Amino acid sequence: EENGHLNKRLKRDAGEEDAEDQNKKSPKRKIVLLMAYSGKGYHGMQRNVGSSQFKTIEDDLVSALVQSGCIPENHGEDMKKMSFQRCARTDKGVSAAGQIVSLKVRLIDDILEKINNHLPSHIRILGLKRVTGGFNSKNKCDARTYSYMLPTFAFAHKDHDVQEEVYRLDKETLEKVNKLLACYKGTHNFHNFTSQKGPRDPSAKRYIMEMYCGEPFVRENIEFAVIKVKGQSFMMHQIRKMIGLVIAIVKGYAAESIIELCWGEEKVDVPKAPGLGLVLERVHFEKYNRRFGNDGLHEPLEWTEEEEKIAVFKEQYIYPTIINTEREEKSMVNWLNTLSIHDFNSSVVGMQANNKNAKNSSDLEGSDGCDDDSD
């Protein structure tokens, strides 16, 4: 019996060593992972090594990569060792349906299944592709598409329309919203849409390819709509401020001419919409695809086969989180109540006083984390 136990133990030890040897032999390759996650309860995407107080998406991802055997433990402690790079930083509470990270891993068998087994259900790896050795997901990305899901009562006029749950968006108001969103298209100086840049900072100029609001739909008795925006890159708070200003105009707090005023050097008091509805939809690698996508060695970074999985994940985890959180915490309702505090014709001095008053409510929301270029 003792010999039997000993043989079993020796076999088990040998099996573990074989697995370890297999891991060591598995070649390390540069890959990208397609990620989807619900950001509620997380302090954003980017890991803060040494700070366990604020949990991030990358904390859970790195832990799963180590436990699945894709990366050695010391690479988890020092992410530079695996050449890790995320395509876009999403901030507190912000979700993603098409985030991309690039890194070097051991290409073990059933790699996606093994990583997902060590992740919570609200974080999924939906796809994997091999890329060139020097690929960096942040630097090689030509554009990002974000969506912003909001209850349509945000567009109800402050003086006339019925507010909140019974509100339904009419065709004329939707046309007005889209006319205003179209004003952002092209290259403009967005210094008024972030706290990070001055009016003469060249990096405040950004190129927006498209921005529009889709047809409304009803969920849980509340009507919602989704705004899509595609741009080369975004600064911190930029998308939320772009949407916040359009809401302020449609509601009747600000004149349409204020958008034109924002492109000038004068400081304009632009309100920042809540962070809850913001989702990183997809990232675009058009230049990379043209150069390497059909070279016979690499695949284009397109995710047609994963579209269905992305749609299912959004329906299961992202949309319900936005809808239920809106119902419970009323972040849009509370923010709309602060719009009257803003003086859209104020001077910088007046703005500082107003911002101080509004600070308590706006600071409850995370920034959109769209500061793609400020890693």
pLDDT of 369: 43
Q: Is 274 part of any domain?
A: yes
Please write the tens of the pLDDT for every residue from 205-229. Answer: 999 999 999 999 999 899 999 999 9
Please write the tens of the pLDDT for every residue from 157-175. Answer: 999 888 788 999 999 999 9
Domain CATH number, residue 115: 3.30.70.580
pLDDT of 363: 36
Please tell me whether residues 118 and 163 are part of one structural domain.
no
Residue where one domain finishes, among candidates 98, 130, 162: 130
Please tell me whether residues 89 and 214 are part of one structural domain.
no
pLDDT of 366: 33
Q: Is 59 part of any domain?
A: yes
Q: Is 341 part of any domain?
A: yes
Question: Is 278's pLDDT higher than 70?
Answer: yes
146: annotated binding-site residue?
yes
Residue where one domain finishes, among candidates 103, 130, 157: 130
User: Of 59, 60, 91, 269, which one is the catalytic site residue?
Assistant: 91
Q: Say how many domains are in the chain.
A: 2
Query: Which letter does DSSP use for residue 314 in this model?
Result: I
Under the banding of pLDDT at 50, 70 and 90, the label for residue 352 is very low
Please tell me whether residues 179 and 281 are part of one structural domain.
yes
Q: Is 278 part of any domain?
A: yes
Q: How far is CA 135 from CA 39, 177, 301, 309, 317, in A?
A: 26, 39, 12, 25, 30
- The answer to whether the CB of 212 falls within 8 A of the CB of 182 is yes
In sequence order, the 6+-apart residues with CB closer than 8 A to the CB of 47 are 56, 58, 59, 62, 79
Please write the tens of the pLDDT for every residue from 6-43. Answer: 565 555 555 555 545 555 566 789 999 999 999 998 98
Q: Is 227 part of any domain?
A: yes
Q: Is 282 part of any domain?
A: yes
The SS3 call for residue 138 is coil
Question: Is 270's pLDDT higher than 60?
Answer: yes
Please tell me whether residues 117 and 60 are part of one structural domain.
yes
Please tell me whether residues 207 and 316 are part of one structural domain.
yes
Q: Is 375 a catalytic residue?
A: no
The SS3 call for residue 12 is helix
Tell me how many degrees the CA angle 141-146-149 measures, rounded to the nearest 5: 170
pLDDT of 6: 59
Domain of residue 341, residue span? 143-287+294-350
On average, the pLDDT of the chain sits at: 86
Please tell me whether residues 106 and 166 are part of one structural domain.
no
Task: Tell which residue, 45, 231, 31, 212, has the closest CA to residue 141.
Answer: 231
Under the banding of pLDDT at 50, 70 and 90, the label for residue 3 is low
Please tell me whether residues 160 and 80 are part of one structural domain.
no
pTM for the structure as a whole: 0.84
DSSP H helices, 219-278, are: 238-250, 258-262
pLDDT of 1: 53
Please tell me whether residues 328 and 223 are part of one structural domain.
yes
Please tell me whether residues 156 and 267 are part of one structural domain.
yes
Q: How many Å apart are CA 187 and CA 249, to the nearest integer?
A: 21
In sequence order, the 6+-apart residues with CB closer than 8 A to the CB of 14 are none
Radius of gyration of the chain (CA): 23
In terms of Cβ atoms closer than 10 Å to its own Cβ (0-12, 13-18, 19+), residue 81 is middle
Question: Is 76's pLDDT higher than 90?
Answer: no
Q: Is 6 part of any domain?
A: no
**Kind of pairing, strands 123-130 and 205-213?**
unpaired
Q: Sign of torsion, CA 117 119 120 126? A: negative
Question: Is 359's pLDDT higher than 80?
Answer: no
Q: Is 343 part of any domain?
A: yes
Q: How many Å apart are CA 319 and CA 329, to the nearest integer?
A: 15
Please tell me whether residues 85 and 167 are part of one structural domain.
no
pLDDT of 357: 42
Please tell me whether residues 200 and 281 are part of one structural domain.
yes
Please tell me whether residues 150 and 112 are part of one structural domain.
no
Please write the tens of the pLDDT for every residue from 88-117. Answer: 888 888 999 999 999 999 999 999 999 999
Please write the tens of the pLDDT for every residue from 176-188. Answer: 999 999 999 999 9
Domain CATH number, residue 228: 3.30.70.660
